[in-house]
Structure 1
């Protein structure tokens, strides 16, 4: 990785102020890095012209107007399921391959309002359905850790926001936006050795995010440092009139301290997260961080989230039900792919969806429609909703009960990044159930969570842990995460 492209937001702004580098030259360096790492397949669309124009605007604010914005000259990637005006938004699917929105997602609009420079739209599993970023019409994304272009035995990037994670990890941009429905930001962040933040549901607007599961989707943030994640969150969080599900009260900017006092923090270790299939290396990293926090005078205690064991099944049912509903809009009539042959209306729908969706998407649509049949509705959907409430209540009990904790510490993934050939041996549904075991409960409860890289495995691949807290506890989570980050000093790729 080029050392300059691995700088933090604070460092790059200092370089701009010292005139050692300009926003336009930094944008050029980032675009060069995109080309150098093209074999990783992190980007669906490289927005070279837009990035250069954004860099020129930032340069003017820095050196002529003398009124720079918080993200001026900061290069970003955007997962290709966020709408961007006059730039294709494909969801890595044949169905939307040529779709060009006429409006910007709120997240992107706020990033641009803060001065960020878009260098490209990032690869993902089709319609964000997957845990590996391997189910894209543009091909799979490759993890930069351990990657050798002369060896086809590469590691997956995680999913579904794998393109965004690789863009950051490889040094192509300073930050990237993903979407997190069951771990789709934290999972690839963990496997690619970067920070992945899933905010509280409703803290960041979903307007312009092409939906997967409306009740769980959250725009996520991917950066190389915790401080950068906080900086991005400060720019995109807050109420949005265009999204009725956003939290209505004003967002208070998050501040981080360099020497956060851990002595009054109570940290819970949920015993149910010590699950079957978790590698010993992950368990050791988890214990290591718990020991570090205890040395920092935090109180460490065991807690129980008793409904964790049913969480994956509940998530799977609710996910497929909402997918079936959301995918119904792709009928070949209004926008997106349309089968060319002449058919009856029913045949047009069937042919368009058969050719426009891959097997994974079609499978989830079939599953969701089955669960929503009149004869199955109470048995599956209603029961799953009731269990989701119990899962949410588990978190409320550990955060609000008489013997409460402030945050939870868990692994993020169950292993380091799997080899692509091994990952392909299992069905997409089974991979999601395995890879998202520790992450998806936070989405069902709507609580914030952050993944932080800790150490390298015996394969020299990143291992990460996750912090979860009650709703709107981002400031506490980020301060604890920053403290962990400062102690473990995880190495950046090729540092």
Structure 2
């Protein structure tokens, strides 16, 4: 049951073969069984059961609100949720309870979806491992999968791998079968990175297609609510619900007409797939490179046109991204001063002393360093040299993509991460900035250009961990991107996660065997 797709579970709910309250209870029980993953900061059990009961009442009368009615979901804890604590995994916001829902959360609730919890993350979404939050690191569910345990033969308590970040809790929730969908935020790859490492589908929509209202900002000009699911079809269902203009977010655009569902008989021979030569990074693992080549060959053998393309300013992208990121972080973090909400220092000798102590106590080293760097870049004597230059390079990066797509390329195929998931003990040997520079190398150019991108698992490494690839589309061509991704998903037939020694394993395998084919986790 927990391994089924949203579409399959929705059908079971409508036909009365399953109740929303039963489904909600199973998800909450799964959260408890996988507590060691630390994927959730807050579990909203009481509210969830009430929402599920209302869904049952609607389903019983044959008046469901939509395809998500009764479907459990979770949300990264940097989206505001009415009357539910929202912390951004930071001491600074511990105890903050918003009086409103983020637009994307409200849209899901309006469709009858059931909110079961708030997911863990890197503090204020600054990181690539979900290891730098105030509530501890997130563990990748594949650390406990049968395939990884058979290969590693190590102690699960010391040999576990990271979930990726900063939306690691959201990805782990979907991968561990406790949530059918989760919302993350994607600023430089923060949805696609953990989606890749946890072996789930992660969609970063076109900038402006989905409202940012109620998403506590990191980088306003790049932030996009992301969607994590177990299949491309599920991601499409969620995007159809979330897309469109929002009067509370002036950057949103009207969604173009979209098909009712992704076509099953799509002819890939009409597509041209580009392979950016600059994405052959020096540290790219041999296994990831092999997957990239294998999938490119898969497209070509099916009749698609596959050709090498060039994005020459990619080499400057990561530096440009970090300058702009720090600048906007400095601006956005300035609002957290201890006066109106969140943490406030007990120091009262002066207002300045209270500000300084509050921010020192409330922010971790990662946030403080980025804010300090941003303020340095924005100094009057540095503004032209750093911020303006970075904006100019950002324009060149966007023009690279535009030129490639105008040459007839429909989608780009790239790696998502350099390798499969890293062991936690190895990951924490380097500082956050270095780790983010390495892990965001393939993902952040998309945010700089505002393009849609999706990552999906395509194979298993020799360590028994997922390897995923990224597809990048043209602006507002999200549905074409989803269609190509669905075609690829059908070809690779990625296996369902099997937890080592889990008594729930048979139930998951039985439910999956009832499906026509396996689509993601």
Smaller-chain TM-score range? over 0.9
In the alignment, the residues of structure 2 paired with residue 168 and residue 230 of structure 1 have an alpha-carbon distance, to the nearest angstrom, of 16
Secondary structure at the aligned position of 1:13 is classed as helix
Deviations 1:323-360 (A, max 9, x none): 00000001111111110121212111110100000000
C-alpha distance in structure 2 between counterparts of 1:375 and 1:67, whole Å: 59
Q: Tell me by how many angstroms 1:250 deviates.
A: 5.7
Which deviates the most, 353-362 or 242-251?
242-251
Q: Quickly say closer, same or farther: Cα 1:291–1:249, change in 2 above 3 A.
A: closer
TM-superposed CA distance for 1:393, in Å, is: 0.4
Cross-structure match for 1:346: 352
Q: CA deviation at 1:67?
A: 3.6
**2:211 equivalent in structure 1:** 205
**Is 1:55 aligned with 2:52?**
yes
C-alpha separation in 2, matches of 1:65 and 1:457: 46
1:408 aligns with 2:405: no
Alignment RMSD (CA, Å)? 1.1
Partners of 1:67 and 1:171 in 2: how far apart? Answer: 24
1:86 alignment partner in structure 2: 83
The unaligned stretches of length 5 or more in structure 2 are 150-154, 499-508, 510-521
Decide which of 181, 184, 191 is 1:185's aligned counterpart: 191
Question: Distance between the aligned counterparts of 2:94 and 2:122, measured in 1?
Answer: 13
Structure 1 residue 462: Cα displacement: 0.2
Q: Does the Cα contact within 8 Å between 1:238 and 1:251 map onto a contact in 2?
A: no
Distance 1:162 1:257 in 2: 31
- Distance in 1 between the 2:286 and 2:203 partners? 25
Query: 1:361-400 CA deviation, whole Å, 9 max, x = no partner?
Result: 0000000000000110000000000000000000000011
Matched, 1:122 2:119: yes
- Report whether the alignment pairs 1:492 with 2:492: no
What SS is found at the alignment partner of 1:343? coil
Q: Which residue of 2 aligns with 1:393?
A: 399
Distance in 1 of aligned mates of 2:262 and 2:428: 41
How many Å separate the matches in 1 of 2:197 and 2:255? Answer: 35
CA shift for structure 1 position 264: 1.2
Correspondence 1:110 to 2:107: yes
Structure 1: 5+ residue runs without aligned partners?
none
Distance 1:337 1:66 in 2: 44
Question: Is contact 2:347-2:353 (8 Å) kept?
Answer: no
Pair 1:251–1:348, CA change in 2 (3 A): farther
SS of residue in 2 equivalent to 1:145: helix
TM-score with structure 1 length normalisation? 0.97
* CA deviation vs aligned residue, 1:460-482 (integer Å, no higher than 9, x gap): 00000000011011111111111
Per the alignment, in what secondary structure is the counterpart of residue 216 of structure 2? coil
Match of 2:424 in 1: 420
Residue 275 of structure 1, CA deviation: 0.6
Match of 1:291? 297
The secondary structure found in structure 1 opposite 2:17 is coil
Deviation at 1:251, TM superposition (A): 5.6
**Runs of 4 or more off by more than 6 Å in structure 1?**
none
Q: Deviations over 1:71-124 (max 9, x none)?
A: 011110100000000000000000001100000000000000111101100000
Distance in 2 between the 1:25 and 1:241 partners?
Answer: 37
Aligned to 1:154: 160
Query: Which of 27, 32, 37 pairs up with 1:30?
Result: 27
| Deviation at residue 57 of structure 1 after TM alignment | 1.2
8 Å CA contact 2:451–2:472 kept in 1: the answer is yes
Q: Secondary structure at the match of 1:308?
A: helix
Distance in 1 of aligned mates of 2:204 and 2:384: 31
1:52-451 to 2 correspondences below 5 Å: 52-147=49-144, 150-248=156-254, 252=258, 255-400=261-406, 403-451=407-455
Mean Cα deviation higher: 306-315 or 14-23: 14-23
Could you report, residue by residue, the CA deviation over 1:166-187 in whole angstroms, capped at 9, with x for unpaired residues?
0000000100000000000000
CA distance in 1, matches of 2:405, 2:197: 28
Tell me the distance in 2 between the aligned counterparts of 1:381 and 1:224: 39
The secondary structure found in structure 2 opposite 1:5 is coil
- Give the Cα separation in 1 of the matches to 2:224 and 2:334: 21
Contact 2:143 2:156 survives alignment (8 Å): no
1:68, CA displacement in angstroms?
4.2
Q: Do the aligned partners of residues 399 and 50 (structure 1) sit closer, same or farther apart at CA in structure 2, a change above 3 Å counting?
A: same
Q: Give 1:447-462 correspondences, 5 Å limit.
A: 447-462=451-466
The count of residues paired between Structure 1 and Structure 2 equals 490
